[in-house]
Chain A
Amino acid sequence: MAKPMPVRTVAEESLIGKRIPKMDAPDKVAGRTRYVQDLNVPGQLHGKILRSARLHARIVKIDTSKAKALPGVHVVLTAADVDQRPIGVRKDHMPLKGDKVRSFRDEIAAVAADTPEIAEEAIRLIEVVYEDLPPLTDPEKALLPGAPLIHEDKKDNVAMTFDYANGDVKQGEAESDIIVEDTFYLHYVTHCCMGVSGIIADYQPNGNLLLHSNTQVPFLHKREFAEIFGIDPGRIRIIQPPIGGGFGSKLDIYPFEPIVVFLAKAAGRPVKLVFTREEEFVASPTRQPVILKLRSGAKKDGTLTFRDCVTLHDNGAYTSWGATTPFVMMQTISSLYRVPHCCYHTKAVYTNNPYAGSFRGYGNLQATFAVEAHIDKMADALGLDAFEMRLKNAQDPGEVTPQGMHFKSCGFKDCLKTVAARSGFSDKRHAYRVAESAPGRYKRGIGMASMLHVGGGAKIYPSDGCGTILKIDDFAHVTVMTGASEIGQGSETVLAQLVAEELGVPLSAITIVNNDTDITPWDVGVHASRTTFIAGNAAIGAARIAKTKILAAAAKVSNIAATDLTLRGGFVARAADGQVIMDLPKLLRSIHFQDKADLVMTTFYYEPPSKHQDKEFKGDVSAAYAWATQAVEIEVDLWTGIIRLLKVTAAHDVGRVLNRLGIEGQIEGGIVMGQGYALSEDLMVREGRIANPNFRDYKLITAPEIPAMDISFIESMDGEGPQGAKGVGEAPAICMAAAIANAIENATGVRITALPFTPENVYRALSSARGQAKGAA
């Protein structure tokens, strides 16, 4: 008699919350990853762009004859040579400028040549005759009567306006025991992706257009490219090679992209263009600079009464996403704390300055900077604890704000309490305040700020969907084709993790395909901290369909009900006790060969229905919202204005931690990006010209300068989130400047309302405050 098979069991093991190394990291550390800079296609030419030498001028004449005569030059194009349509958010931007230039970055001509060196030489040989026009570089002057017009058809220089209101600000004022008012100046910074911009355009023999592009929004770009060239979007294929950083910079289409397509078309050859670092500084977008006037009120007990906010956005010469950041800013103004009466008005005005795009946080760094300064200011004036005042006005789960945002999961108060306790906030703030008036060169300060941001997608398009195609082969290898783009943030790993969790297979059994519009399902792009939430839900959906099919087949073979079975450790197992019923690859082989395997799954996840924002900006913009509080401790050198960031204590409501390694990396990176925004980064735009287009003069934070970090996760388990998770990508960068401003005030007694807090700016602000204090005495 045969011995009975020994009973094997497999333990339930979850991947959720584990530290999962990034799947693409081994290639990256080996130098094997090929970015667009590293790609070359057979027959490729090299593109180069001539940019304006003038700030604001009519183009009288462009002479390209010498460039065309240079050996090795294949094509020279100007606006006269191409049939182009305007690009950008307001379609106010021709890729090649024919009539006039509106900023120093403006593209006038382009060359395709055998080598980059020849292309550069050809660019130098192009002669342009300009007729200068009066410049406009001060956004406040853009609205004055008689101001130079940047676009002749925009008679008031206004690119965009946003107006939002709830309640009655007058009533709020009447109910206030204190009213504070300030003007905040938020400066230019730029993304500084380590991988500079680049593209390869390649017309295929069948007339289809193949682009190797760094875009964050491949499907939306297909449509936009098609509109520019007047071709069928279905004939455009976008492949995204691994991308050397995004942070929002690759959300819009920029002139160099259609220009390279024009070059490729004219040359009949593929054309590659990669920016120099200087070009990257000059010709990629900036964070939106803002002049923000805020009035806020509160009652004696600290209850907020109203907020009245007017902002002026320097749009630059053309309209990209920067102009639409009020969409996010107003959410912080109206809904980070409970404010019964609120109004927000903004204008984005054209100037001859560089134009602003989308950048991690999307206006929220600017709005949070102002809102959090006023909480501190009012708390101090009312003699309240700054933390307690925040707690008093903080949102709770279930609230629907006057703007219509519905906070289903909300760990805001837990974020506040966690940070206050772990940083020793209130005691330190008091002690540093007392020490402020004592003599001494070095002063310490602590400051706190919180943020609200979309964490469940962003309904800025009619749909916020993402698709997944999932296939399983007969060796239990799973391929996940997702619309979600990987820009370094780790989406491929988290998606693999979510699928592995459902299917009980190791991560090594999963391949993610995410970079080819001919293969991957439709998606609106990587932005708004949406990928884990939206693409994660889509991936889980496909994995669950697969699981159901596999368990049904296993039930048939084993005579155990599918509901009593599960997938675990590469086996079909009994759910109750983990007893191994069969080997998964073997089952899959048998169903692939003998049954209708049907193991290609498709899903689309769309955000759950909600009250979409109306024309007054009231409604819900996300399926879930992320919350965070950060406290910073600093040391100010009163003699030099140098600020040392000592420690950051952060608590983030992330719904649930999926990949602990990945989420820590996002938060640490965001904190340091926020540190740079506050302390060191300053894109100096002087009369429209960028004065510091290099890493020597544009100072990024380096390894020795980072603070100690204490990061806590608040797991509010969002009901709609994938495994309860919410988005986190943008959140960590948002609070830092606001918290540092509050810490400077705590350390020195001086409120600085203009960024950045570079040593010179801080020193001047402190000196001027001392001067005023002396004058008053």
Chain B
Amino acid sequence: MSLAAELPTRRIAFTLNGSPKRVSVPLTLSALELVRDLLGLTGTKYACGEGECGACTIVVDGKSLNSCLAFAVDLDGRMVTTVEGVASDPALARLREALVEAGGVQCGFCTPGIVMQAKYLIDSGRATSRAAIQRGLEGNLCRCTGYVKIIDAVAQAAGVNA
């Protein structure tokens, strides 16, 4: 911890998955490192570290965000949801069930990011058609499924047919 200890830190307060959190974070810490390494919520994944793959997607104040590109300090005062935080959300239960039932999961590494991006698309009313869902998932890479069943699942959860 010797290097980290030398870095300036700041205390932040935010809402994580419905519960208040107060933590002291180094100024250079990313939001991804905060949730994964400091808070132990390993559902959010590192897969590229530069905002290209979407595996680290979280939802902040209703908007999806690549947490690898955001500073932890910028979460101060915000409402943050990670994949772990959606167990009690019935809308999300439907989405998760759809991903399972439609076969949208293979190795599963991209899945938490897909869940969070899909949550954002549905909650914000953007999942209006299959094409809109496809565009909305453009920033989430998946190497296993070929996306077909992920799109099926999100469409199903959003109640979209065409």
Contacts and interface: CB of A to CB of B under 8 A. Distances in A.
Interface of A: 19, 21-22, 24-35, 37-38, 71-72, 114-115, 117-118, 121, 191-196, 242-247, 276-277, 487-490, 661-662, 664-665, 668-673, 694-696, 700, 702-704, 706, 709
17 contacts: A21-B103, A25-B105, A31-B84, A33-B108, A196-B46, A196-B47, A245-B107, A277-B53, A661-B103, A664-B103, A668-B149, A669-B145, A672-B147, A673-B146, A694-B50, A695-B52, A702-B137
A661 B98 CA distance: 13
A19 B148 contact: no
B43 A30 contact: yes
B106 A71 contact: no
Contacts of B96: 26, 29-30
Given A26-B100, A672-B146, A673-B143, A194 B110 contact: yes
B152 to A, nearest CB: 10
Contacts of A191: 143
Interface in B75-116: 82-84, 87, 96, 99-103, 105-112, 115
A32 B44 CA distance: 10
Contacts of B101: 21
A196 B110 CA distance: 12
Given A665-B144, A670-B146, A488 B108 contact: yes
Interface in B111-148: 111-112, 115, 131, 133-135, 137-148
Contacts of A121: 3
B25 to A, nearest CB: 14
B106 A22 contact: yes
Contacts of A704: 131, 134-135, 137-138
Nearest to A659: B103
* Nearest 9 interchain pairs by C-beta: A31-B43, A488-B107, A28-B108, A31-B83, A244-B109, A672-B146, A695-B52, A668-B146, A38-B42
Given A30-B96, A114-B2, A664-B149, A22 B103 contact: yes
Contact of B108 (A24, A118, A696): A24
B108 to A, nearest CB: 3
Contacts of A22: 100, 103, 105-106
Contacts of A669: 106, 143-146
B137 A696 contact: no
Given A37-B46, A245-B144, A694-B50, A702 B138 contact: yes
Contacts of A665: 103, 106, 144-146, 149
B49 interface: yes
Contacts of A19: 103
Q: What DSSP secondary structure best describes chain B's contact surface?
A: loop
B143 A694 contact: no
A242 B108 contact: yes
Given A193-B107, A665-B149, A703 B45 contact: no
B66 to A, nearest CB: 12
A245 B1 contact: no
Contacts of A31: 41-44, 82-84, 111-112, 115
Interface size class of B (residues with CB under 8 A): 35 or more
A735 to B, nearest CB: 14
B147 A703 contact: yes
A32 B110 CA distance: 13
Contacts of B103: 19, 21-22, 661-662, 664-665
B53 A695 contact: yes
A57 to B, nearest CB: 29
A193 B141 CA distance: 10
Contacts, number: 188
Contacts of B115: 29, 31
B151 interface: yes
Contact of B48 (A27, A28, A672, A694): A694
B80 to A, nearest CB: 14
B100 A29 contact: yes
B150 interface: yes
**Most A CB atoms within 10 A — which of B102, B107, B109, B135?**
B107
Interface in B35-64: 41-50, 52-53, 55
A694 B48 CA distance: 7
Nearest to B95: A29
B160 interface: no
A67 to B, nearest CB: 14
B4 interface: yes
A488 B99 CA distance: 14
Contacts of A671: 146
A26 B108 CA distance: 10
A28 B49 CA distance: 21
A30 B147 contact: no
B109 to A, nearest CB: 3
B157 to A, nearest CB: 11
Contacts of B138: 702-704
Nearest to B140: A703
Contacts of A24: 105, 108
B137 to A, nearest CB: 4
Interface string B1-23: 11110000000000000000000
A487 B3 contact: no
A489 B106 contact: yes
Nearest to A486: B107
A398 to B, nearest CB: 34
A672 B47 CA distance: 20
Given A194-B143, A668-B146, 9 more contacts: A30-B87, A31-B112, A118-B3, A193-B109, A194-B55, A661-B102, A665-B149, A669-B106, A670-B146
A21 B152 CA distance: 14
A194 B111 CA distance: 10
A28 B111 contact: yes
Contact of A244 (B84, B108, B137): B108
**Most B CB atoms within 10 A — which of A27, A38, A665, A670?**
A665
Contacts of A670: 146
A243 B107 contact: yes
A276 B49 CA distance: 8
Nearest to B110: A194
